Amino acid sequence: MSFAAEKVKVVYWDKWTGPEGRSLRAVVDAFNRSQDRIEVEVLTVSPVDRKTLVATAGGNPPDIAGLWAYNIASFADAGALTPLEPFMREDGQTADEWQARYYPVYQRITRHNGVVYAAVCQPAMITLHWNKQLFREAGLDPERPPRTVQELDEYARKLTKRDPRTGEITQMGFLPQEPGWWPWVFCRWFGGQLFDGENITLATDPRNLEAMRWVASYTKDYGKDAVTKFASGFAGQFASPQAGFFSGKVAMVFQGVWYNAYIREYKPGLDYGVAPAWPSAVPGIDDFSLAEADVLVIPRGAKHPREAWEFIKYLSSPNLQAQSREELTGIELLSYIQEKNSPLREWSPFFANHHPHPKIDVFRRLSASEHAEITPDIGIWTEYHREVLAAFANVRLLTATPEEALADAHRRLEKSWARHRRSLERHGQLPAKQNAEVKP
């Protein structure tokens, strides 16, 4: 038999090891078994984004790369990605038609300036998680999460404990920097805009300032030294029993759909709740949430783009009739093993009704929210992100006022943005108009 020799080998680089890596391999194996023409081979590569970029520059990229969603804008501007619409058209659909399978937030997360560059691989929604036991101890209703920011602050006060002897903080209700992965989203949460499609609006949008004032209020109200010292005890701990939420030191935390599995691993039996949405910060923005995703892209110059597309299609088109674990395929199989939500509007009966995450409905509902937020679509996001992180740290540590911190970052970002556009222009890449984020 010579069939095996004729199979096209598709090289797929991904970042995950451990349980995530194993589940990705399970899906790849399922794909390889489902047909006899293509063999996808997964390689774990770290850090996958930079290695992919260098390999692409060297003319020898993988056929598929599992990047982070925030890579898309800068990679696309660098000319490192293959637009996916031509493949969709070969299948007789426009990008919009093809992507209609996704919830709007996941349509947006795969695009840069309206062009589709990626498929969603490991989707996640993020919302407030709270420790019911600590709520009980503080005399709060353990079944009722805060519904507004005012309530969040009030609960946080009630949930904070100090050592009566030394005055040191031993437990806090909430800490803006725990986990501190998305400080920029606080601006969006408060209704602010980071980028309007044309200009940087970090310091010019007053609602961003409101958000940073709120961040500073935590340091001011509880005392800078006390908070710093308290937080340093578990700073940087996430996948560890010492993490703030697992060790009962922080009672409320924004985390993603993945948290259930981590809680089971690091604090089995923790009695926790998942809030139906972020507490509302400003009128008119309800059901706020943050969406994140790993994405699959086909780097420019990939040897087997068509076969890579076949795998992407398999992943994005699961068996929506699945009635059992064995019948799950594609993204549903992956999300089932990872206990995450599916990015698709339609879920198979088995996936929807026998999902291992007890609160999966919350995350599904949030996926559909029109206030589900994603990383701003701007080619200088890596720099923007660092600027926000630095501003956030300065605000929180009171080393700068919120006004100063945002103005400082804004000034540098304006310069970078102008330079980035100049560079795109130089390379003949500047689109007729920088589109604003695609709204659902």
Partner 1 sequence: MTRGERRSFFTGLAFTSPWIIGLAVFTAYPVLASLFYSFCDYSILKTPVWCGLENYKELVSDDLFWLSLRNTLFYAGLSVPLGTIVALSLALLLNADVRGKPFFRVLFYLPSIVPIVAASMLWIWIFNGQVGLLNWILTPLLAPFGLTPPAWLVDPTWAKPALILMSLWGTGNAMVIYLAGLQNVPKELYEAAEIDGATGWRRFWHVTLPQLAPVIYFNVVMSIISSLQIFTQAIVMSSAASGGTGTETDGFPARSTLFYTMHLFATAFYDLRMGYASAMAYVLFIIIATLTWLATRISRDRLN
**Which residues contribute to the site for partner 1 (CB under 8 A)?**
50, 53-54, 56-57, 70, 74, 78-80, 177-183, 225, 228-238, 300, 380, 382-383, 385-386, 389-390, 393-394, 397, 399, 412, 419, 423, 426-427
Contact partners, residue 42, CB within 8 Å, separation at least 6: 12, 13, 14, 21, 24, 25, 28
CA–CA separation, 10 and 65 (whole Å):
11
Question: Minimum distance between the CB of residue 411 and partner 1, rounded to whole angstroms?
Answer: 9
CB of 42 or CB of 53, closer to partner 1: 53
The answer to whether 168 touches 229, Cβ cutoff 8 Å, is yes
CB of 238 or CB of 262, closer to partner 1: 238
Question: Minimum distance between the CB of residue 95 and partner 1, rounded to whole angstroms?
Answer: 23
CA–CA separation, 428 and 67 (whole Å):
26
3-class DSSP assignment, residue 297: strand
Distance of CA 121 to CAs 14, 344, 367, Å? 11, 11, 15
Question: Minimum distance between the CB of residue 123 and partner 1, rounded to whole angstroms?
Answer: 18
Sign of CA dihedral 246, 251, 254, 260: positive
| 390 sits in which H/E element | helix 381-396
CB of 41 or CB of 403, closer to partner 1: 403
Question: Minimum distance between the CB of residue 290 and partner 1, rounded to whole angstroms?
Answer: 13
CB of 43 or CB of 235, closer to partner 1: 235
CB of 80 or CB of 295, closer to partner 1: 80
Beta strands in 275-397 (DSSP E): 289-297, 372-373
CB of 282 or CB of 393, closer to partner 1: 393
Distance of CA 295 to CAs 20, 315, 440, Å? 14, 11, 19
Question: Minimum distance between the CB of residue 91 and partner 1, rounded to whole angstroms?
Answer: 28
Question: Minimum distance between the CB of residue 108 and partner 1, rounded to whole angstroms?
Answer: 19
